[in-house]
Structure 1
Amino acid sequence: MSTSPDGAAGKVVVTHALHTEAYTRLREQCAVDMNTAAEPWSRDTLRGKLRDADAVVAFMTDRIDRDLLESAPRLRIVAGALKGADNIDMQACSERDVWVSVVPDLLTAPTAELAIGLMIGLGRNVLPGDRHVRSGAFSGWRPRFYGTGIHGSVVGLLGLGAIGRAMAQRLQGFGARVLYHDRRPPAPGEELTLGLESASFERLLRQSDFVVVCLPLSGETVHMLNRDTLALMKPGALVINPSRGSVVCEADIVEALQQGNLGGYAADVFEMEDWARGDRPQGVTRELLEMDGKTLLTPHLGSAVHEARKAIESEAVANVLDVLHGQVPRGAANALQGRGADAPATSV
């Protein structure tokens, strides 16, 4: 879909469909070329559309790297409808005086909310129970489908960024002991306020019934949960991953599940989605899909809340309009030396 009002402020490429409100606001001021299909554009298609674009609204399926930027000489901003920017080459953008903006605060609550749902769904065998009822075999209560509840458990949060803090807030009413591991100390008094206990990485893995991944993807966190670290976990423990797929090694998760060392794995994110990795797999690990009853897998539902998505898109559009009207984008995640402006990077 392509539209262009008279006196357009610039051309904006939108790689996935926006809700009506955000699209209308953008269309009123800019020439808009938007993908209305469910599937992402091919790399070559996106490259062609960016040749005369001033801005692009990017989503999870886009990899904005140095090579792509070479084909976009007019580009002034990559406005991510994203919390993080690991699929965007921040350094390359900065070198070319291209702003990168993200929406760090708008995805936190829905992501933490889904993570709690994954904990309950996996721990309490909700999916196997549902299948049992639908099979016609259910004839009343029987002593089966016993699982792990949150109350009285030890929950380990890997990372205490925005998502980790949101998880801690939501866990306060569940009667769990909550450990966290993060190299950055929390604000004074925050441990007490959130009911948290600091732990080394090893102790957190050894003591936790649930380990919740609350980390961004970086060179330091890729495959942080692997064969060696998973082996430290207590037998039957559950891993919950609402953050980034590649923080865990899916093949090693499968191995730990097969050997019975790990009790279950729930994920809303997968290694195949991490475009920042040149070696990313092309699909979800097959064995993970086949482990019925031990896995709970959702299709990146963390932000799949109507009002949250509308707010995310609205903020991305606002960042585009900021730049096209000569201002620093409110969600700036990089600094441009050529324009003498500084903006702090965001973290999960």
Structure 2
Amino acid sequence: MKKPKVLVTRQVANEAIALLEPAAEVKVWESDEPIPRERLLAEVEDAEAVLSMLTERIDEELLTRAKKLRIAANMAVGYDNIDLPACKRRDIWVTNTPDVLTEATADLAFALLMATGRRLIEADRYVRNGEWSSWSPSLMAGQNVYGATLGIIGMGRIGEAVARRAKGFGMRIKYCNRNRKEQAEAETGAEWASLETLLRESDYVVLLTPLTEETRLLMGEQQFSWMKPTSVFINVSRGGTVDESALYQALVSRKIWAAGLDVFQQEPLPQDHPLLSLPNIVALPHIGSATEQTRADMAKLAAANIVAVLEGRKPLTPL
């Protein structure tokens, strides 16, 4: 009996492929570059499962071609690249990879906060470019981290993990979330606040919401105007949650002090993007979960979800 076909849209950890091979014929797009759209559409026509990345749109066009598809397993927490209603109409499972990337992403968020607040990337360039000729009291002076006020927008698993790190730095923590998180409040001392209050009172603002219709362009001109001129904005959520033109203007006019960004509306970011012209920006290439161990765990969880569905069981992390 012929095994069902699984399409893996990027090279992933060998352990994940090993999980799939006993149950399926595995077709891997063996490149670090995204699979071309036309090739993706052709390959899914006879696939019963796809292990996808955020770079692949699982939309109406693709689903119309993928007559045999039973599961789309996204190797990410986010799933704004997948048309959930269209999958539901076709009884196609959609899964993501929560939990396994929480701590790695929280590490990155806090590292980005510190690198931006203390001007670490700028200081590194200063030394490498041979500009360091003497010491002065104002040389690469940044903002305090220890004892500062941190505002977390989106107190999910990653937000709570960031709050735990902030507690170790003696930070006062405020958070904005649809629901109160009493356990997180008890554990970290975090205080619930409205978005406006959080933005007005925080020295650092970390955005960690998923991209939904409610959060699209959540941070715009009005929101940046509420922030302190010494405040630092960090985005480790999705690029679509921020009005980048408004952010650029806030940075140029010094309405806010600096920004650290791991995500952008267009990825990869064009080299002529206005934000890259600013010295008070730290820009990263969407590497929130990028540790070798975490990416392997994400791939294995996505593979385990696929195997469960192909064997007639419910997946581990269904959306």
Task: Please name the residue that 1:316 is paired with.
Answer: 302
In structure 1, the residue matched to 2:293 is: 307
Name 1:126's counterpart in structure 2.
120
Does residue 158 in structure 1 map to residue 153 in structure 2?
A: yes
Is 2:160–2:184's contact at 8 Å kept on the other side of the alignment?
no
Q: Does 1:146 align with 2:132?
A: no
Offset, 1:114 = 0.2
- 2:249 is the counterpart of 1:255: yes
Measure, in 2, the Cα distance between the counterparts of 1:238 and 1:215: 17
2:37 is matched with which residue? Answer: 43
Count residues with an aligned counterpart: 318
Q: Does 2:284 align with 1:298?
A: yes
Cα distance between partner residues in 2 of 1:223 and 1:156: 18
Q: Alpha carbon RMSD of aligned pairs, Å?
A: 1.5
Query: Which of 198, 201, 207 is the matching residue for 1:207?
Result: 201
In structure 1, the residue corresponding to 2:226 is in which secondary structure?
A: coil
1: distance between equivalents of 2:281 and 2:269? Answer: 20
1:195 aligns with 2:181: no
Structure 2 Cα separation of the partners of residues 180 and 20 of structure 1: 39
The aligned amino acid for 1:58 is: S
Gap change, CA 1:202 and 1:245, over 3 Å in 2? same
- Aligned position for 1:336: none
Identity %: 38
- Report the counterpart of residue 179 of structure 2 in structure 1: 184
AA in 1 matched with 2:200: R
TM-score, length of structure 1 as denominator length: 0.88
Q: TM-score, normalised by structure 2?
A: 0.96
**Retained in 2: the 8 A contact 1:11–1:54?**
yes
Unaligned runs of 5+ in 1: 1-6, 274-280, 334-348
Give every structure 1 segment of 4 or more consecutive aligned residues whose post-TM-superposition deviation is greater than 4 Å: 281-285
**Cα distance between partner residues in 1 of 2:147 and 2:160:** 20
SS in 1 for 2:10: coil
2: CA distance, partners of 1:258 / 1:116: 24
Question: Are positions 1:55 and 2:49 aligned together?
Answer: yes
Is contact 2:154-2:207 (8 Å) kept? yes
- The residue correspondences of 1:161-176 to structure 2 (distance < 5 A) are 161-176=156-171
Which residue is 1:287 aligned to?
A: 274
Which amino acid is the alignment partner of residue 174 of structure 1?
F
SS of the residue corresponding to residue 170 of structure 1 reads helix
Please tell me whether the aligned partners of residues 23 and 310 of structure 2 are also in contact (alpha carbons under 8 angstroms): no
Give the direction of change, closer, same or farther, for the CA distance of 1:256–1:61 in structure 2 (3 Å limit).
same
Gaps of 5+ in 2: none
Query: 1:272 and 2:266 equivalent?
Result: yes
